[in-house]
């Protein structure tokens, strides 16, 4: 199609959007003073903006289509290629490590603080990745386990004075327990039905916390949750933040290690197989229910640990921190990062949590931009930012045969 | 196991039934007021749910932006009604025009949202489309909040108190009556559309074909007769579009809360 047609098409789209946004963008009724404002400038801006936006949009859509046609085999993400290549692998990881170690000392406390939240989301994302990405169970109530962890630390500390380091493993166990308890009745369901039931469970936990005043202090929440100590030593505010940062880094590394090992283990393969084809899986003798339950419980374990860290970091929790919106954010982390790919989920969490913070420069427009970016990422990269790559074992029969022939 | 389930179900129903009957015996009039109020609310939700299920049934997507389109329908009706109200038009004309505009605009928005956020994702993982829908929902919410206002807005009642209805007005107001009647009519129309018209049949046939294992993208590349393809494609985009007609209708004439509360649509009304 020549360029003239593209311009014509974009003009039509711009005109369509001008009409579409007319009542909301242009007319503004002031009900108190009984006046109507017509903001005609907006009308023009919408037209100009959508014209260029649609030109760019269509250009990239066409490019995407063409790329899909030409190279199907060679679309392994850059990061994977970097990591597979031994020459780049070491320096790349070294640089990354240096950056993360230097981070809290170089940047001010505010940045350390938001980085901690982002890293907590890395943990949560990796946990949910087990459930959604690997086992293919859409869980919209993931925040329930996060709340369990956070409240476990807050309450155990309040009543029994247990420290962070004691509660952390306990909450992991508690998370697993809750995962099994909630998972047991709901895992008979499939697909979207499962999503809705888990959503219901997430809400139940939140509403119980909100209304059971004697137990959880209701909507007022629990404050003065102590930060973790270092062998009984308490830090000042600034040092406590840096300490927290390194704890989270350690936990994230542990999570990455575990998730990676799980993914390549027998049970990890069972999850992936279950995601791809349930019936074939059962025919192969995989216990469907047990496998699903393990995924659910292990995902919950990480959510609970993330909850403990969250409570220790913010030192104040209330049920409002655990709304459905939180579950959705974690799900976005997983899907935008790339389902089933650990590197993708890490990248997704960092982008998704840090981006709104840095978008504060555009203050009130930030959620607008954020929503639009979500759509754009999904349209142009439907498999996520860094998509998962299945392990491929190549065995070149011909080459081996030639090799053997030359030797004999 | 089965008997335990049945027993549990009966027990829950029994407990709820007991309280309902008790309320009825204590104060019948109050009971009916509550009942009809609930029915009015419920019928609006039912219409929204109908739109929802049409989208879900056809493109197999949990449409997170559904509530936002509903909100846009309400906003459009509100803007049209208040502009015409300030110009001093007749209330009946305003009501009709507000409804028409609400229908047309939410239809257009549904169409546009589908073209931008869902259509490019048809051959992608289902969760990607879900996230795209969430993004769209966030975008639309913030777009209206920025362009208009995040506050409560008054919505003047467009339905007069019918004279002939006065004797029963203490049980059910004429506004509620209008909502219930509209809902019933619209549901019947929708039923006819789905069952008997060509577009309805095309819509119903889609989920079967949409099964990923049997339905590949070859289908779009032209292996089927053109006319058939056309109907399928247009059914897909219109599923987004047609259903809006039905539920925006009562919302446009829903002054019973007398406010359009945008916060009510935050953050996932579609679920409730």
Count contacts between A and B (CB, < 8 Å). 125
Rg (alpha carbons) of chain B, rounded to whole number? 21
Statement: residue B242 has pLDDT above 60: no
Global model pTM greater than 0.95 = no
Q: In terms of pLDDT, which residue wins out, B209 or A24?
A: A24
Strands B153-154 and A27-30: unpaired
Q: CA B248 to CA B77: how far, in whole Å? A: 9
Q: Which residues contact A78 (CB under 8 A, 6 or more apart)?
A: none
Q: What is the ipTM of this complex?
A: 0.81
- Asked if B79 lies within 8 A of A138 by C-beta distance, the reply is no
- Cross-chain residue pair A382–B137, CB shorter than 8 Å: no
Find residues 35-64 of chain B whose CB sits inside 8 Å of chain A: 56, 62
pLDDT in tens, A75-104: 667 777 777 777 777 888 888 888 888 888
Q: Which two tokens stand for residue B110?
A: 């549904």
A269-310: pLDDT as tens digits: 999 888 888 888 888 888 888 999 999 999 999 999 999 999
Of A325, A324, A340, A330, nearest in space to A303 by CA: A330
Bigger pLDDT: A23 or B61? A23
**pLDDT for residue B236 is more than 60:** no
Which residues of chain A are within 8 Å of residue B82 when distances are taken between CB atoms?
29, 31, 36
Q: Which residues pair with A28 in a beta bridge?
A: A37
Taking the C-alpha atoms of residue B127 and residue A186, their distance in angstroms, rounded to an integer, is 20
For residue range B21-52, list pLDDT tens digits in order.
Answer: 888 888 888 888 888 888 887 887 777 777 77
Is the minimum CB–CB distance between A355 and chain B shorter than 8 Å? no
Instruction: In whole angstroms, give the CA distance from residue A112 to residue A108.
Output: 7
Query: Residue B135 class from Cβ within 10 Å (0-12 exposed, 13-18 middle, 19+ buried)?
Result: buried
* Structure-token pair, residue A240: 């406590």
* pLDDT score, position A170: 93
| Ordered structural domains, chain A, with CATH | 3-70 (no CATH), 96-380 (1.10.3470)
Rounded Cα gap, residues A5 and A13, in angstroms: 12
Question: Which pLDDT belongs to residue B248?
Answer: 42
pLDDT at B272 over 50: no
Q: With a cut of 50, list the residues of chain A below it in pLDDT.
A: none
Mean pLDDT of chain B: 72
The pLDDT assigned to B258 comes to: 32
Q: How far apart are alpha carbons B140 and A375 in whole angstroms?
A: 12
User: What pLDDT sits at residue B81?
Assistant: 84
A53 to chain B: closest CA residue:
B116
Which segments of A129-217 does DSSP mark as H helices, in order? 143-160, 164-186, 191-211, 213-216
Which candidate from A17, A199, A374 shows the least CB-CB separation from B131? A374
Residue B59 has pLDDT above 50, yes or no: yes
pLDDT at A155: 92
Q: Are B141 and B123 a contacting pair, CB within 8 Å? A: no
**SS3 of A76, please?**
coil
- For the segment B87-98, what is each residue's pLDDT rounded down to a tens digit? 888 888 888 888
Q: What is the pLDDT of residue A400?
A: 66
**B187, B136, B106, B154: which is closest to B257 by C-alpha?**
B154
In B22-163, the DSSP E strands lie at 153-154
């Amino acid at each position: 199609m020549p360029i003239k047609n593209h311009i014509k098409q974009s003009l039509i789209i711009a005109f369509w959007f001008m009409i579409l946004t007319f009542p909301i963008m242009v007319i503004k009724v002031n009900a108190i003073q009984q006046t109507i404002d017509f903001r005609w400038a907006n009308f023009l801006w919408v037209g100009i903006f959508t014209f260029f936006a649609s030109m760019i949009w269509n250009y990239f859509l066409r490019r995407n289509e063409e790329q899909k046609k030409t190279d199907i085999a060679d679309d392994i993400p850059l990061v994977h290629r970097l990591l597979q290549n031994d020459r780049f692998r070491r320096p790349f990881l070294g640089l990354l490590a240096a950056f993360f170690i230097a981070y809290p000392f170089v940047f001010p406390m505010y940045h350390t603080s938001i980085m901690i939240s982002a890293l907590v989301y890395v943990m949560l994302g990796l946990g949910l990745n087990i459930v959604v990405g690997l086992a293919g169970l859409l869980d919209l109530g993931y925040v329930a386990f996060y709340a369990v962890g956070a409240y476990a630390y807050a309450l155990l500390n309040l009543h029994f004075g247990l420290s962070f380091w004691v509660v952390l493993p306990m909450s992991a166990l508690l998370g697993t327990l809750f995962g099994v308890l909630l998972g047991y009745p709901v895992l008979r369901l499939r697909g979207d039905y499962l999503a809705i039931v888990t959503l219901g469970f997430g809400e139940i936990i939140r509403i119980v916390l909100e209304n059971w005043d004697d137990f959880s202090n209701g909507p007022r929440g629990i404050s003065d949750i102590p930060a973790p100590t270092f062998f009984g030593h308490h830090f000042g505010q600034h040092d406590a933040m840096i300490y927290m940062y390194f704890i989270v880094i350690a936990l994230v590394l542990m999570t990455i290690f575990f998730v990676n090992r799980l993914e390549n283990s027998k049970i990890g393969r069972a999850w992936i197989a279950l995601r791809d084809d349930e019936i074939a899986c059962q025919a192969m003798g995989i216990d469907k229910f047990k496998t699903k339950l393990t995924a659910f419980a292990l995902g919950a374990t990480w959510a609970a640990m993330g909850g403990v860290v969250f409570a220790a970091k913010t030192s104040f929790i209330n049920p409002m921190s655990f709304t459905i919106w939180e579950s959705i954010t974690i799900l976005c982390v997983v899907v935008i990062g790339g389902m089933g790919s650990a590197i993708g989920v890490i990248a997704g969490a960092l982008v998704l949590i840090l981006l709104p913070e840095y978008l504060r420069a555009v203050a009130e427009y930030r959620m607008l931009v954020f929503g639009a970016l979500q759509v754009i990422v999904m349209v142009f990269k439907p498999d996520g930012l860094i998509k998962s790559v299945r392990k491929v074992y190549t065995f070149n029969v011909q080459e081996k045969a030639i090799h053997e022939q030359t030797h004999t | 196991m089965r008997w335990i389930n049945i027993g549990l179900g009966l027990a829950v129903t029994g407990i709820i039934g007991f309280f309902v009957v008790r309320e009825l015996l204590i104060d019948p009039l109050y009971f009916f007021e509550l009942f009809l109020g609930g029915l009015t609310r419920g019928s609006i939700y039912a219409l929204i749910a109908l739109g929802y299920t049409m989208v879900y049934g056809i493109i197999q997507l949990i449409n997170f932006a559904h509530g936002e389109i509903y909100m846009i329908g309400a906003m459009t009706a509100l803007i049209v009604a208040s502009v015409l109200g300030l110009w001093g038009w007749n209330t009946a004309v305003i009501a009709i025009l507000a409804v028409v505009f609400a229908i047309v605009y939410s239809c257009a928005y549904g169409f546009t949202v589908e073209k931008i956020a869902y259509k490019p994702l048809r051959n992608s993982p289902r969760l990607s489309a879900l996230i795209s829908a969430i993004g769209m929902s966030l975008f639309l919410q913030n777009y209206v909040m920025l362009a208009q206002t995040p506050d409560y807005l008054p919505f003047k009642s467009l339905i007069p108190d019918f004279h002939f209805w006065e004797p029963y007005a203490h049980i059910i107001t004429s506004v509620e009556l209008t909502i219930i009647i509209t809902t019933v009519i619209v549901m019947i129309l929708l039923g006819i559309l789905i069952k008997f018209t060509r577009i309805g049949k095309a819509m119903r046939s889609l989920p079967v074909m949409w099964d990923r294992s049997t339905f590949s993208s070859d289908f779009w590349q032209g292996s089927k007769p053109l006319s058939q393809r056309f109907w399928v494609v247009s059914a897909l985009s219109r599923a987004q579009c047609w259903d809006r007609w039905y539920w925006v209708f009562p919302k446009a004439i829903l002054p019973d809360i007398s406010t359009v509360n945008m916060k009510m649509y935050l953050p996932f009304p579609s679920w409730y």
